[in-house]
Chains A and B, each alone.
Chain A
Amino acid sequence: MKLIAAMSGGVDSAVAAARAVEAGHEVIGVHLALSSNPQKYRSGARGCCTIEDSHDARRAADVIGIPFYIWDMAEEFHDGVVENFLSEYADGRTPNPCLRCNEKIKFAAVLDRAKGLGFDGVITGHYAQMQETSLGRVMHRAVDPGKDQSYVLAVLNTEQLAGAHFPLGDTVKDNVRIEAKRRGLYVANKPDSHDICFVPSGDNAGWLRDRLGSEVGSIVDEDGKKLGEHKGAYTYTIGQRRGLGITVPAAGGEPRYVLKIEPKTNTVVVGSHEALAVTKIVGDRPIWCGPEPTLNIEHRGFAQVRAHGSPLACTYVQTGTEIKVDLDEPLFGLAAGQGLVIYDGDRVVGSATVARTE
């Protein structure tokens, strides 16, 4: 096959590209420039979007012996990921930009361009496993549970899945590092990147405040009684306990948590831990990562709501426009905007965006 390898400059994508070459594919390395001014999204050694990263990626491509190009996806990234991140927060929701980037950039803009150029698909260093079944291609969790990235890939529809290749899903990260060294890929010792790549300082709240303003609003309890003030409701996350800056103690002395963010009135509602409990989740924008579950009947499975969260046993129903989840045990703290991913064992069934909870 003719494949485009998306190379970040890190060890995973480099080894993924090398494996694809070894498997006999015709591979071209591409580094995505996601900022029109690379210094702007600088995140230093944490490794994303810097000039050094693009040079590391180029060096890896040279060592592997494949052509290398830089694709300017800054506009697409800004419009599709950064703007969305801001508007979601402005609406009082908590988005996951990595999910969004996979859905709109890596396996959309890049995959489309690759196909236009006559290539068959895109290789990345993500940790997830593909399986060909009688029902078509499906995605499973990676063998390395610590590295599994199937959650952030659950936004791929079947067509995107067909053009995606993850050569690392069957390997544990430690062995990928060893393999990189054996292959002479000097990126082997770079630390993993975890933070949001376009928030270089890691200070999410400060970054949002710079862009959305810091209008003072109220912190209230569930009855609407004012307990304190804040500088921008969107800098809080549901379930947050520390840094609320409330001086009035709760009646029983128990800690208080952020329960709700109301962007229209710029209000943060706090309350007890029990009030965070969620057993019913409704997600919209469903995407099926393989065969679509039968409409309007109950299925058993697992729901996961964070990249490194635990799978929670549940019953779910899909209605065509929504996924309704009923958890066996309550979950504490879930914000609208988060990604809801449904698994059947280790297989990714699909995903949706959390719309509301009960």
Chain B
Amino acid sequence: MTIYLDHAATAPINDAAIDALNTQMRKVGNASSVHNPGRAVRKDVEDARHKLSELVGANPSEIIFTGSGTEANNLAIKGFFWQAPKRNLIVTSAFEHHAILDPVQWLVEHEGAEQILIPITKAGVIDLDFLGNIVATRGSDIAVISVMHSNNELGSIQPIAEVVRIAGDIPVHTDAVQSFGKVEFDFAALGVTAATISAHKVGGPLGIAALILQRGLDLTPILHGGGQEREIRSGTLNAPSIVAFAAAAEYAITNMKVNFAKIRELRDYFIAGLKSAVSDVSINSVLDPALPGIVNATFPGTESDALLLLLDTEGISASAGSACSAGVPRPSHVLVALGLSESDADASLRISIGTTNTKAEIDQVLAVMPSVVERARNAFVVSGLD
């Protein structure tokens, strides 16, 4: 038996997406071909683009399909940076996903970029005063400001409309991978220049995502080839995944209100139960305004990899901070940005609840939690050299 509590890592694909994928995979044709099968596939892709654009509050031509959220983030960061040769400063929040922080770091190391990180307040949101200061003093140097719409470890929704107001003419990108399909997200209403969404976080297939980019703007591409997506992104369009992405998003957004309430109720039930099961637990995640299903908690005196191992042996799937390429666990940079010590960050878990979870599952998790924490503490005390 598996209790899946890692929906923020990837969500189960929904039936609407599977049906769309199955149907589309049986159709031959390259959407760029002029012949009849090609045209038929192009119509399906463009219908999907149209549907998705409505769901996200954008114009169809503003949607640039990519092979992942990571690619869309890279395209935004590198694209805006290379597009503005006289501006070498990139401003992001300190708790962005690695798919933002790492391309920025790469530009710093290889292309002479400068990076400024916006600190995170105790409330789990960016420090707007800090941003205001940077824009006031260094505005003409800034190539792009990128702040995620909601944080994947804390759940906290960021004041993006404020960021846009402060930014003025400076391009603003937001990584909305965690928000899209779960909370209100409207590209046009927010006024951002660009945004990233990814299918597998909303019940769609893996390996399909989009950068939404305001009309009339150009970005320096990172992939060169057929120029399929506005000459900004090349590669034969992945028609089955695109169609399934739109279907999954439609399903998620149609049911968003109901699911939001249901998941939030489970989250609050879980947090209350956790506090009584483990007396010294502390909750790092943000309750409101926030994604409905994220719980991030510190269990003092433990190490997250021990907690994950023990939960896994109980059939429970959760997650912790990221790992390096060799898989060595590293304390979460998000929690460190929030002000946790490295050892507290290292003693923390993220549990992300989704549409498929039930109260019975939460009860089962709560039942094993005290013994899991106790065993993780035993392992922590004894490890190390004498």
Cα(A38)–Cα(B325), bound, Å: 9
Q: A116 to B375, Cβ gap below 8 A?
A: yes
- One digit per residue, 1 when the CB lies within 8 angstroms of any chain B CB and 0 when it does not, for chain A 108-135 equals 1100111111100000000000000000
Among A72-80, A194-202, A307-315, A319-327, the stretch that binds chain B is: A72-80
Given A116-B375, A116-B380, A117-B306, residue A72 in contact with residue B328 (CB < 8 A): yes
Q: Which of A31, A80, A117 counts the most chain B CB atoms within 10 A?
A: A117
Interface residues of B in 273-317 (CB under 8 A from A): 305-306, 308-310, 312-313
Residue B1, interface by CB 8 Å? no
Q: How far is the CB of A77 from chain B (nearest CB, A)?
A: 10
Taken together as a complex, chains A and B put the C-alpha atoms of A347 and B13 apart, in Å, by 58
In the complex, A50→B324 CA distance in Å?
12
Chain A contacts for B327, CB-based, 8 A: 31, 33, 54, 58, 70
Do the beta carbons of B326 and A38 come within 8 Å of each other?
A: yes
- B305: chain A residues at CB < 8 Å are 69-72
Question: Which residue of chain A has its CB nearest to the CB of B378?
Answer: A116
- Contact in complex: A115, B325 (CB < 8 Å): no
Per-position binary interface string of chain B over residues 241-256, scored 1 when its CB falls under 8 Å from any chain A CB and 0 otherwise: 0000000000000000
B306 surroundings in chain A (CB, below 8 A):
113, 116-117
Query: Roughly how many angstroms separate A108 CA and B384 CA in the complex, as a whole number?
Result: 9
Q: How far is the CA of A118 from the CA of B376 in the complex (A)?
A: 9
Residues of B within 8 A of A116 (CB): 306, 375, 378-383
* Contacting pair A33 B309 (CB below 8 A): no
Q: Is B123 an interface residue (CB 8 A)?
A: no
Chain B residues with CB under 8 Å of A65's CB are: none
Q: Which residues of A from 60 to 96 have beta carbons under 8 Å from B?
A: 67, 69-72, 74, 76, 79-80
* A118 nearest CB neighbor, chain B only: B375
- A104 contacts partner chain B, Cβ-Cβ < 8 Å: yes
Is A51 part of the binding interface, using a Cβ–Cβ cutoff of 8 Å? yes
Q: Does A28 count as interface, using CB distance less than 8 angstroms?
A: yes
Q: Closest CB of chain A to B374's CB: distance in Å? A: 9
| Cα(A117)–Cα(B373), bound, Å | 10
Judge whether B370 is part of the interface by a CB distance below 8 angstroms.
no
Q: How far is the CB of A34 from chain B (nearest CB, A)?
A: 10
Q: B325 CB to closest chain A CB, in angstroms?
A: 6
- What is the number of residues of chain A that contact chain B, defined by CB distance less than 8 Å? 28
Q: Shortest distance in angstroms between B226's beta carbon and chain A's nearest beta carbon?
A: 33
Decide: B385 and A51 in contact? CB cutoff 8 A. Answer: no
- Indicate if the CB atoms of B329 and A72 lie closer than 8 Å: yes
Which of B324, B328, B329, B379 contacts A117 (CB under 8 A)? B379
Instruction: Give the distance to chain B from A285, nearest Cβ to Cβ, in Å.
Output: 14
Question: What are the interface flags for B303-347 relative to A under an 8 Å C-beta threshold, 1 for contact and 0 otherwise?
Answer: 001101110110000000001111111000000000000000000
Q: A28-B309, A67-B309, A72-B329 are in contact. Are A117 and B385 (CB under 8 A)?
A: no
Contacts of B381 in A (CB 8 A): 116
In this complex, the member of A50, A67, A74 whose beta carbon has the largest number of chain B beta carbons within 10 angstroms is A67
Q: In the complex the two chains form, is B326's CB within 8 Å of A113's CB?
A: no
**Contact: B309 with A117, CB < 8 Å?**
yes
Which single residue of chain B is at the shortest CB-CB distance from A112? B382
With A116-B381, A116-B383 given, is the CB distance from A69 to B309 under 8 Å? yes
A108 proximity list for chain B (CB < 8 A) = 385-386
A79 smallest CB distance to B (angstroms): 6
Q: How far is the CA of A237 from the CA of B305 in the complex (A)?
A: 42
Does A117 contact B376, Cβ atoms closer than 8 Å? yes
A8 to chain B, nearest CB (A): 13
Specify which chain B residues have a CB less than 8 angstroms from the CB of A104 in the assembled complex.
Answer: 385
Which of B312, B328, B329 is the one whose CB lies under 8 Å from A67? B312
- Complex Cα distance A69/B375, Å? 17
Compute how far the CA of A67 lies from the CA of B2 in the bound complex, rounded to whole angstroms: 13
The interface residues of chain B lying within 8 Å CB-to-CB of A109 are 383-385
B382 close to A51 (CB less than 8 A): no
A117–B325 contact, CB under 8 A?
A: no
A69 proximity list for chain B (CB < 8 A): 305, 308-309
Q: Is the pair B312, A76 in contact by a Cβ cutoff of 8 Å?
A: no
Given A38, A74, A79, A112, which contacts B383 in the complex, CB threshold below 8 Å?
A112
A48 to chain B, nearest CB (A): 13
Do A70 and B309 have beta carbons less than 8 Å apart? no
Provide the A47-61 mask, 1 if CB < 8 A to any CB of B, else 0: 000110010001000
Report A36 CB to chain B, min CB distance, Å: 8
CB-based contact B323/A117 at 8 Å: no
List residues of B (339-386) whose CB comes within 8 Å of A's CBs: 375-376, 378-386
Q: How far is the CA of A104 from the CA of B384 in the complex (A)?
A: 9
Name B323's closest neighbour in chain A (CB-CB).
A70
Asked if B384 contacts A117 (CB within 8 A), the reply is no
Is B326 within 8 A of A70, CB to CB?
A: yes
Q: Quick check: A70 and B385 within 8 Å, CB to CB?
A: no
Known A-B contacts A104-B385, A109-B383; A51 and B326 likewise in contact (beta carbons under 8 Å) = yes
> Is A76 in contact with B329, judged by CB distance below 8 angstroms?
no
Closest to A116 in B: B379
Chain B residue nearest to A109 in the complex (CB): B383
CA distance A131 to B327 in the complex (A): 36
Q: Name the distance in Å between A1's Cβ and chain B's nearest Cβ.
A: 14
When distances are taken between beta carbons in the complex, the residues of chain B under 8 Å from A33 are 326-328
| With known contacts A31-B327, A70-B328, A76–B385 Cβ distance under 8 A | yes
**Residues from chain A with Cβ under 8 Å of B376 in the complex:** 117
| A358, B128: Cα distance in complex, Å | 75
A28, B380: Cβ atoms closer than 8 Å = no
Residue of B nearest to A67 (CB): B312
Whether A113 touches B379, Cβ cut-off 8 Å, given contacts A38-B326, A70-B327, A70-B329, is: yes
Q: Which residues of A contact B385 (CB under 8 A)?
A: 76, 79-80, 104, 108-109
Task: Digitize B56-94: 1 where CB-to-A-CB distance is under 8 Å, 0 elsewhere.
Answer: 000000000000000000000000000000000000000
Instruction: Report chain A residues within 8 Å CB of B326.
Output: 33, 38, 50-51, 54, 70
A–B complex contacts, Cβ < 8 Å, 17 sampled: A31-B327, A38-B325, A54-B326, A54-B327, A67-B309, A69-B308, A70-B327, A71-B305, A108-B386, A109-B385, A112-B379, A112-B383, A113-B306, A113-B383, A115-B378, A116-B380, A117-B310
| CB-CB nearest 8 A-B residue pairs | A116-B379, A116-B378, A70-B327, A112-B382, A33-B328, A38-B326, A113-B383, A51-B326
Given contacts A28-B313, A70-B323, A112-B382, 20 further A-B contacts (CB under 8 A): A33-B327, A33-B328, A38-B326, A38-B328, A67-B309, A67-B313, A69-B308, A70-B328, A70-B329, A72-B305, A80-B385, A109-B385, A113-B306, A113-B379, A113-B382, A116-B378, A116-B381, A116-B382, A117-B306, A117-B310
